[in-house]
A and B are shown apart, each in its own frame.
Chain A
Amino acid sequence: MKSFLYKSVLFIGLLLIISYVVYFILNAFQLSYYKKSLKTRWAIELTDKHVDYLFLGSSRMANMIAANAFDSTLNTTSINLATPGSSYGESYVLLQQYLTHGNTAKTLILSFDFFKSRYTNPDEESFTPLTFKHFDFFPYEEVPEIKSVYDSYTPQWHMQLWQYLPFSQYAEFNTYFKVDSMLQFVVDGKLQQANFDTLTGSQLIYNFKFKGERISAPGVVRLGPRSEKYLLKILALAKKNNISIILVTAPYYKMESFDRTIHTTYVHFLKNTFNTRYIDFTASQEWQEYHNFSDPIHTNVYGSKLYTQMLCDSLRVK
């Protein structure tokens, strides 16, 4: 038994030592390979940008805005920092870093999805599809504001595991380390290509397969204490920097009907507290044609152009 335990410990020890070496290799790889192709990292690295409109939020906002059409219609400048799957915590980090790095904006257009209910149990938030993308922020995890968001979105033991066994960061997010792409990187020096416009952040979808076979379910994204905390922090930060705020509910393809009382009450609360304006693209079902959507909750390029135009029309009306 002694020999067995001794050798088991030796084996685990060896694994640990090698894992540190592997960590350094993978870390070097991912920093070079992904560079600014991850939208979150691209957004954090922005400096000296001065725009009229800043878009922030989840994929629904990222996909909805056709930046060139928006800018040419309103004769303004804009940048879209919205990223797929982004929670309010992540959006807060992006806004906070954007402002810290000497960038400015006059108006913030923030994605504000429907929520059917509010809840108080923080654990329930783990069921929402919107997250904080841990892997994307690893190079910046020591930045105090980012670290505090990490703390909110990660159990303490998990943070310690990443800290003391850094290999676990990459073992956990191994989908970022495809053998094929690593080989191409080593052999041809081929980097990951960004799937968004690196000038404006525009992220249009060219997918026309959706035929309206599904409708969207409201209330998938619910407002819990953590989301609310960062939503309010975003709005407070914008207010502090004299940025006017517009909340936008991006279009859905035909939605199940539900009681909107809680949502509407909260919109009024935000209006009274932060002087926000609210634009709801689900108000009329008239424009909700399936050929404008890539799925029930995301617009395709046709829908993006249509809804961008409508947003411009709304913004012209003061």
Chain B
Amino acid sequence: MLFNSIPFALFLILVFCGYWFIFNKNLRIQNAFIFATSYLFYGWWDWKFLFLISGSALVGFCVGLMLEKTEDLYTRKILVGIAITINILFLATFKYANFFTQSLEELFNHLGFQADFITLKLILPIGISFYTFHNISYIIDVYRRTIPATKDIIVYASFMSYFPQLVAGPIQRAKTLIPQFQKERQFDYATAVAGLQQILWGLFKKVIIADTCAVHVNAAFAHYETLPGSQLILAAVLFAFQIYGDFSGYTDMALGISKLFGIELTTNFKTPYFARSIPDFWKRWHISLTTWFKDYLYIPLGGNKRGLAITLRNTLIIFFVSGFWHGANWTFIAWGLLNGIYFIPYLFFKLDSKEEAYSFTDYVHMCFVFVSICFSWIFFRANTITVAFAYISHLFTNPFINRSLYTQFPWSIMLPILFLLVVEWAYFRKDGFKAIQFKYRWLAWTCYVCLAIFILMNMSFHQTSDFIYFQF
């Protein structure tokens, strides 16, 4: 059940009505309803994986309780170690087992040994990377005594499986989400309206921007040998918008849906393509993952407090792991490491953008960062590392322009991209957008209705397109 599908629209209406009109008398029942509908939502893909998410949640819940009761540091360390190992094992088995066996096989064959390892025919459970990280963060937070362990299994199961963020984040922290499940929720008109606006904007990003860009990007990556260099560059730029539209569109919908239930989720994107430096970009892109790695990996490794060499090492580790988290493929590792390399000059020269000042140089930096990020996306998009390098080499070796450029230029996507940039810029500069929203209500309604019609016209009802981040 995808957010951009009719079954989900019906599901959402039913859950909304049930949540506010039928099960709103008692908090526990309301939480149980959220839990049940979240499992229904997840089971819609494959009910068998409900056992996996239940098992993962049960481990987290029980270990949390044991950590709460135990004072002995050694026992606590063992408990947290076991819980993290179990979670990592789940993830490693389903997501990385085949990658490791295939890579080993290739290595052995390359060295002249005839290796033929067994590959497991495992389907990747949707959202496993996300809920595993929920679980781990909760266990570590309880271990660190940052938060108390919850004693209500329904609350914990709801935290783990809350449907708006279950399959592609944002990765939630127990300290922000669990307290929201523990207190009475009141319907708030302004929050609900903001939620609907965010859903609409998310749909625009997904249906209009991402899905339209995808057509051109897929064609370019399928025929990169024959296309002119300019078209390959254009496809790399369009992929930047595709992945942003796809992932931030999903996130906007997740946040908006959650607002309808009176629950605030963590912000995941803050206009990342307006970043003026690479560190600034990573403060704005997939924020929930970046901060997760910062809190649970970068800082425990020593962060930036133990000299430049350690900082450098830690930064590269974070980007390597981040790339690997995205998928079991060398392309993601290359993408992660490339971003880590981009980061290095900023560590050496302590360069970072200032919040307030905006000069011509800032705009130049903005363009530079965007180009660098677009280049790194080639690795992210390519199916194999060989394809990524071949694509890059064809950027330079193919003729730069040919006759087909004008006729095949994706004119129809340019206007929506421009619209996206204008709105995001207004949001980024914190003016304009809000004024339109509240000062001229008729204009806001006109915009919403036109946007909704435009989205409906472009929505593929019979073949809904997946979100890219669902595979992670």
Q: Which residues of A contact B (CB under 8 A)?
A: 1, 3-4, 7-8, 11, 14-15, 18-19, 22, 167-168, 170-172, 174-175, 177-180
Contact = CB atoms under 8 A, between A and B. Distances in A.
Contacts of A14: 445, 449
A18 B457 CA distance: 12
B20 A1 contact: yes
Given A1-B187, A3-B189, A15-B452, A174 B460 contact: yes
B462 interface: yes
A168 B461 contact: yes
A1 B460 CA distance: 32
12 contacts: A1-B20, A4-B193, A8-B196, A15-B449, A18-B453, A19-B456, A22-B453, A167-B456, A172-B460, A175-B460, A178-B412, A180-B412
Contacts of A8: 196
Contacts of B460: 172, 174-175
B124 interface: no
A174 B458 contact: yes
B411 interface: yes
B234 interface: no
Contacts of B452: 11, 15
A144 B411 CA distance: 42
A19 B445 CA distance: 15
Contacts of A177: 457
Interface in B404-438: 411-412
B189 A1 contact: yes
A193 to B, nearest CB: 14
Nearest to B20: A1
A6 to B, nearest CB: 11
B448 interface: yes
A98 B187 CA distance: 61
Nearest to A17: B449
Contacts of A174: 457-460
Nearest to B446: A14
Nearest to A12: B452
Interface string B440-472: 000001001100110011111110000000000
Nearest to A180: B412
Given A4-B193, A167-B456, A179-B412, 10 more contacts: A3-B189, A4-B189, A15-B452, A19-B456, A171-B457, A172-B461, A174-B460, A177-B457, A179-B411, A180-B412
B297 interface: no
Contacts of A18: 449, 453
